[in-house]
Amino acid sequence: MKNKTIAGIGEILWDVLPTGKVLGGAPANFAYITAQFGFNGYAVSAIGNDLLGKEILDNLAEKRLDFLIESVDFPTGTVQVTLNEEGVPQYEICENVAWDNIPITQHSNDLARICDAVCFGSLAQRNAVSRRSIYQFLELVPAGALKIFDINLRGHFYSEEIIENSLKKCNILKINDEEVISIAKLLGYDGLSEQEICRCLLQEYNLRMVVETKGATGSYVLTANETSYLETPKVHVADTVGAGDSFTGSFVAALLNGESIRNAHKLAVEVSAYVCTQHGAMPKLPDAFIELYK
């Protein structure tokens, strides 16, 4: 099972936290988690011809994460991250950076054609260059692959057109409770409950499933015939940076390993809770998680 290939395409950057800078970017975080479970995980993005870009490549090599990352004539991305008392991050995202300009290459086309799963979000679509590259990658992914839209709304960097196009191109939607409300306003689902909104999205866009995370409250996985709800474990939170990405990555890894939706959901909840106890978005997972899914 572990010869499967999984890609995260979109932003890669440095999260500049109060404790220092750590490697981040939702698609790269996703890919790193899946790689720890033994899959061929790839980060697909772009960096600048600068020291921060070189440090990203060095960091990925140290983490043993495969990548297709092109150097472009824009600075490597950074995000200033501040944390509130609960460890919940607020982001100040630099614009006109390398990951806004991810090029289409023969290597990325070849990778897309062998992917068993690909994860993408809304943030890297803020620029037309990366948006075209993401859409071409999705077009080349095999028909039976999992295409996960981990929506990750950030600031003003999305539009109704981007959201609707992405929903049409994915077969799994990952969304949090705050994003559900934002999307409801954007797409005209006002007045419905969160669960009703998720059901509408599931049906209208013919999705295999909708995954809704609700922070400390719990999470849902919805399909046409199944609803899985699990509470969030109580842990001492260092920060929640990357928690959602680790949820998505471990959930997809378990599904590709042949697990049921319920078992995949359980793993995702446990892994994301662990990530909340660590600083930064790309911690090494304990062997106990990995041993279960070898």
| Blockwise average pLDDT, block size 10, the chain, 294 residues | 88 86 91 94 97 96 95 94 74 91 97 98 97 98 97 91 97 96 92 94 97 94 96 83 89 95 96 86 82 66
Which pLDDT belongs to residue 293?
64
User: For residue 198, what is the domain's CATH number?
Assistant: 3.40.1190.20
Which pLDDT belongs to residue 91?
77
Is the separation of the CB atoms in 70 and 285 below 8 Å? Answer: no
Query: Distances in Å between the alpha carbon of 12 and those of 55, 60, 101, 160, 227?
Result: 12, 11, 12, 24, 33
- pLDDT digit string (tens) for 238-267? 767 778 899 999 999 999 999 999 999 999
Q: What range defines the domain where residue 46 resides?
A: 5-292
The reply to whether the predicted model has a pTM over 0.85 is: yes
Counting the structural domains of the chain, the total is: 1
Measured CA to CA, the distance from residue 15 to residue 241 in angstroms comes to: 9
- Angle (CA) 54 60 63, round 5°: 145
User: What is the DSSP code (8-state) at residue 188?
Assistant: T
- Closest Cα to residue 278, out of 8, 26, 22, 10? 22
* Dihedral over Cα of 89, 90, 94, 99: its sign: positive
For helices 106-113 and 128-140, the axis angle rounded to 10 degrees is: 40
Which pLDDT belongs to residue 17?
76
Is the separation of the CB atoms in 116 and 1 below 8 Å? Answer: no
